[in-house]
Amino acid sequence: MASTTLRTTDKTTLIALARALRDIAHGHNDAGPVLRSLAVSYERMAAGAG
């Protein structure tokens, strides 16, 4: 069950990252906070994985 939740979270995070990168490519300034939030999420996931 935990691995399914993690995979769902990873998929959701990757979708958000892809959207933020697309926004950057199109010159939208709203992507910055999203990318910072994703960076924090990945750091927390990495810290918990050890």
What is the pTM assigned to this prediction? 0.48
Tell me the average pLDDT across 2-12.
68
pLDDT at position 3? 61
Tokens describing residue 27: 């010159």
User: With contact defined as beta carbons under 8 Å apart, do 17 and 38 qualify?
Assistant: yes
Measured CA to CA, the distance from residue 48 to residue 15 in angstroms comes to 21
The predicted-structure confidence for 18-42, as pLDDT tens digits, reads as follows 787 777 777 766 777 877 787 778 7
